[in-house]
Amino acid sequence: MNAMTTPDPRGPRTGSAILRTALRRNVGAMAAGTLLMGLYQAGETAFPIALGLIVEHTMRERSLPALGLSIAALAVIITVVSLSWRFGMRILQKANTTEAHRWRVQVADHGLQPVARDVDLKSGEVLTIATEDADQTADIIEVVPLLVSSLVAVAIAAVALGLADLRLGLLVIVGTVAILSVLSVMSRRIGTSTREQQARVARAGAKVADLITGLRPLHGFGGNHAAFRSYRRVSAEARNQAITVARVNGAYEGAALAMNAILATAVTLTAGWLAFQGRITIGELVMAVGLAQFVMEPLKLFSEMPKYVMTARASAQGMALVLAAPPVMTPGRDRPSPGGDLELDGVRYGSLRGLTFRVRAGEFVAIAAYQPRVAADLAAVLAMNVPPAAYEGVMRIGGRAAADLSIEAVREHLLVNPYDGEIFAGTLRTNVDPSGTGRLVPEAVEASMLADVVALHPEGLDHGVRDRGANLSGGQRQRLSLARALAADSDVLVLHDPTTAVDAVTEQLIARNLAALRRGRTTVVITAGPAFLDVADRVLVLDGGVVTAQDTHRNLLGADENYRLAVAR
């Protein structure tokens, strides 16, 4: 197949801008989640503090009612911890999944834009970005509140220990800063390794997409084994990079656990030494030991956050490759005039050499291109797969230059159906009428001779179709694609070799049906098939990228030897 004072209609254009956008859109959910998760961490921290106070109070008062009250207080703390975690995570995970959905849709929208985008990414790579990278970017919605709540827990523990003895509080603060300083350096390598891993996985996904698309022809000329070896090599590179990332992550997590354990041990031993010297009470010792054990959890969570932040940044940068790519062309705002004229005036592109012709509204014109490259280049220009700025001359649709028209208006007015139209997993019906609003579905099925395929199955049009039409023959796929184009009932329809995979008898029936169904609507068929040439109102002959002759098929057969040799079967 996008910072921020004036919103860019293309969306955030950098990884950092994507993260800022995600955070800004979820401020409310993150504030509520941070409050509840902070309450959870505060309750967790309060538990060992309460235990220490209970021990202290019990040893001093030795009162059963006081002990019962203390136990009730513990029950309240446990309840607060449980409920705050439950509702806090519910809010954050809902925001996370919603944000991931937004980015998946936005990346998919850019990947499916009718205007081509200058992105050096294949469809498989865009798919990976639209799924894994979108999910990992949205994780920032959970990371920030958990980071803040963990900081709250460490701060409460440091304050509580500092009240018992200043040295204990300072030990927690200094130890936390040291741990985070070391881990922040290590997280940078994680970010670099993760970006490389994502790129390699995306390339492997693109290779799979290419293999699936070309599997039939690969089998045909025996190239499938070489293609599989190529994929194995790309996949091995992704695997090796994943192992590298796992090693880096392992070193990171191991270092985090070791440093957290060292800090907890240091707090415990220091508290024991202070209690031995009589500088803190037994209750304060119990609190210190409990906090030393508890603080490992928020410290572990706190120390993991830089890793998740770096992963989210790497994923956001991957999405920015798609979202920030400038359009190959800037479409206009006009709409074609009603009618259906189609005109090329001096178009030079690829093998086209100043091509000029006009198809009047309601006319059925067949174009016989002697060179396949000419036919392909013409179809690309008509489909606007080539932006107007990339070729000389002008294409006019409904009397308006293509460069001045909005893409949406062009798509509503002009449909160019390629010879290799894609077939989607679903049913025959959903392939013929994807939107479910087509008015000419029965007529399109009959005209394309798809009715023969429908009659073969008890389910009729609801017969299941596998991905890329794997359970259909080549001719059946072509007829299904043609039926979809006819059902769209566009003002101008351009077909490129619509029946190369069907037999001559079926092709002749389709040509007659097509001429009857499209009577009064502008229709262009780029083909060398005699059946379509014969039913067309006029035939344009393209040789060397220019129109060299035009007349009816019968007249050209009698007057043009080259034409007769090229199209007669």
CATH classification of the domain holding 226 = 1.20.1560.10
Strands 392-397 and 342-349, bridge-based pairing = antiparallel
- Tell me whether residue 475 is in a domain: yes
Between 547 and 197, name the one with better pLDDT.
547
Between 116 and 187, name the one with better pLDDT.
187
- Tell me whether residue 313 is in a domain: yes
Q: What confidence tier does 9 reach under pLDDT thresholds 50, 70, 90?
A: very low
In contact, 132 and 319? CB cutoff 8 Å: no
- Tell me whether residue 335 is in a domain: no
Are residue 349 and residue 318 in the same domain, yes or no?
A: no
Are residue 382 and residue 453 in the same domain, yes or no?
A: yes
Are residue 245 and residue 390 in the same domain, yes or no?
A: no
Q: What confidence tier does 461 reach under pLDDT thresholds 50, 70, 90?
A: very high
Phi-psi region of 340 (alpha: psi -120 to 50; beta: other; left: phi over 0): left
Q: Using CB atoms within 10 A of its CB, is residue 65 exposed (0-12), middle (13-18) or buried (19+)?
A: exposed
The pLDDT of residue 128 is above 60 = yes
Distance, in Å, from the CA atom of 77 to the CA atom of 64, rounded to the nearest integer, reads 20
User: Which pLDDT value is given to residue 2?
Assistant: 36
Average pLDDT, the chain: 80
**Last-in-domain residue among 323, 358, 383:** 323
pLDDT tens for each residue of 19-78: 888 899 999 999 999 899 888 888 877 777 777 777 666 666 666 666 677 677 778 888
The pLDDT of residue 540 is above 90 = yes
User: What is the arithmetic mean of pLDDT over 549-564?
Assistant: 92
The pLDDT of residue 1 is above 70 = no
**Side-by-side strand order, sheet with 364-369:** 414-417, 492-496, 522-526, 364-369, 538-543, 546-551
Distance, in Å, from the CA atom of 421 to the CA atom of 468, rounded to the nearest integer, reads 10
User: Which pLDDT value is given to residue 7?
Assistant: 39
User: Which pLDDT value is given to residue 473?
Assistant: 87
- Tell me whether residue 3 is in a domain: no
User: What is the arithmetic mean of pLDDT over 318-323?
Assistant: 77
**Last-in-domain residue among 292, 323, 354:** 323
Phi-psi region of 346 (alpha: psi -120 to 50; beta: other; left: phi over 0): left
Are residue 547 and residue 411 in the same domain, yes or no?
A: yes
User: What is the arithmetic mean of pLDDT over 330-343?
Assistant: 78
Strands 364-369 and 538-543, bridge-based pairing = parallel
The pLDDT of residue 195 is above 80 = no
Bridge partners of 327, per DSSP, are 117
Show the tokens assigned to 540.
């344009």
Distance, in Å, from the CA atom of 319 to the CA atom of 19, rounded to the nearest integer, reads 11
Are residue 528 and residue 483 in the same domain, yes or no?
A: yes
Contacts of 560 (CB under 8 A, 6+ apart): 541, 549
What does 8-69 look like in DSSP terms, one character per residue? -TT---SHHHHHHHHHHHTHHHHHHHHHHHHHHHHHHHHHHHHHHHHHHHHHHH--HHHHHH
Distance, in Å, from the CA atom of 31 to the CA atom of 455, rounded to the nearest integer, reads 60
Are residue 414 and residue 555 in the same domain, yes or no?
A: yes
Are residue 228 and residue 125 in the same domain, yes or no?
A: yes
User: What is the arithmetic mean of pLDDT over 329-333?
Assistant: 69
Q: What confidence tier does 274 reach under pLDDT thresholds 50, 70, 90?
A: confident
The pLDDT of residue 449 is above 50 = yes
Query: Of 274-278, 395-399, 522-526, where does mean pLDDT reach its minimum?
Result: 274-278
- Tell me whether residue 392 is in a domain: yes
Entry pTM: 0.62
User: Which pLDDT value is given to residue 354?
Assistant: 94
Are residue 289 and residue 432 in the same domain, yes or no?
A: no
Three-state secondary-structure class, residue 465: strand
Distance, in Å, from the CA atom of 358 to the CA atom of 546, rounded to the nearest integer, reads 13
User: Which pLDDT value is given to residue 382?
Assistant: 93
CATH number reported for the structural domain that contains residue 374 in this entry: 3.40.50.300
- Tell me whether residue 374 is in a domain: yes
The pLDDT of residue 294 is above 50 = yes
What single DSSP character describes residue 131? I
Are residue 303 and residue 372 in the same domain, yes or no?
A: no
- Tell me whether residue 8 is in a domain: no
Best-predicted range by mean pLDDT among 253-257, 309-313, 546-550? 546-550
Distance, in Å, from the CA atom of 73 to the CA atom of 50, rounded to the nearest integer, reads 8
User: What is the arithmetic mean of pLDDT over 175-188?
Assistant: 74
Q: What confidence tier does 548 reach under pLDDT thresholds 50, 70, 90?
A: very high
Between 242 and 262, name the one with better pLDDT.
262
The parent domain of residue 263 ranges over 15-323
How many structural domains compose the chain?
A: 2
Are residue 396 and residue 292 in the same domain, yes or no?
A: no
Q: How many CB atoms lie within 10 A of CB 541?
A: 22
- Tell me whether residue 5 is in a domain: no
**Last-in-domain residue among 294, 323, 352:** 323
Are residue 301 and residue 384 in the same domain, yes or no?
A: no
Are residue 230 and residue 369 in the same domain, yes or no?
A: no
